[in-house]
Amino acid sequence: MRSHVSSIVALSAFALTAAMVTKPAFAYEAGAVSGGGTIEGKVVYNGPVPTRKIIPNKDVEVCGGIREESLVEVAPDKGVKNAAVYLVDVTKGKAWPAASKPPQLDNIKCRFEPGAQVIRAGPLDVVNKDPVLHNTHGYYGNRTAFNMALPNQGQDIPTELTRPGTVRVDCDAHGWMEGWIYVVDNPYYAMTGDDGKFSITDVPPGTYKLVAIQSYTGPIEQSVTVEGGKPTALTIELKKK
């Protein structure tokens, strides 16, 4: 049975990641990868799907009315949508994906879009697409990463996330809004699709620490060994700790 879980529950997952947000970024060396392998697989969640009740108390013409939101988006076959999967402590390997502009965090209908994303340590644009004031506030652990008022529709404010780790984002004007940014220092990452599947390509052969994380369950870590020219298949089960 689906249970009602308050926004406080989501903060417990945030606490689980607090120890992961203090590591400084290092210089990643990008170059050609010879004989790389692929990590591919699926992230699943087999527990009861919890929900939280959203009760907007202002700006309802923009934010919408009372509703239930799932804290884990789970497909019929248990695949988890929008979980982040990434390798840590990778010092060199493939080039970063080409980007024509910085990643973006939008305020749209009193929701953060995307609700979860993986970005490279560096620039981030925060945008307000609503005709109401938003105050977008990001945290590394208990430390503020950015805090900005966006009173105008169409407003765009650049900021920078300089450290790898988990950044929780909320809105000081609309307390139910919540987003997650997973900041990484190497390009070996992926977000799961609607079916929970992911793929990380061109991984230099070796043994790595892999992290899978979703905002409700928190992170799970495991070791993964990659062989040159071969796929490494994984099924990662997320569990609430």
85 vs 209: CA distance, rounded Å: 11
**Which tens digit of pLDDT belongs to each residue from 144-166?**
999 999 999 999 999 999 999 99
DSSP string, 162-202: -S-EEEEEEESSSTT-EEEEEEESSS-EEE--TTSEEEEEE
Q: How confident is the model at residue 241 (pLDDT cuts 50, 70, 90)?
A: confident
Position 16 pLDDT exceeds 50: no
**Which tens digit of pLDDT belongs to each residue from 95-138?**
999 988 999 999 999 999 999 999 999 999 999 999 999 999 99
Find the mean pLDDT for residues 59-69. 97
Find the mean pLDDT for residues 43-62. 95
Q: How confident is the model at residue 62 (pLDDT cuts 50, 70, 90)?
A: very high
147 vs 112: CA distance, rounded Å: 15
pTM: 0.88
Position 60 pLDDT exceeds 60: yes
Q: How confident is the model at residue 68 (pLDDT cuts 50, 70, 90)?
A: very high
* Whole-number Cα distances in Å, 145 to 7, 82, 84: 21, 22, 20
Residue 24: per-residue pLDDT: 53
Domain spanning 7-238: CATH superfamily: Cupredoxins -  blue copper proteins (2.60.40.420)
Instruction: Tell me what percent of the residues of the chain surpass a pLDDT of 90.
Output: 86
Which is nearest to 115 in space by CA: 68, 70, 51? 70
Position 174 pLDDT exceeds 80: yes
Find the mean pLDDT for residues 15-25. 45
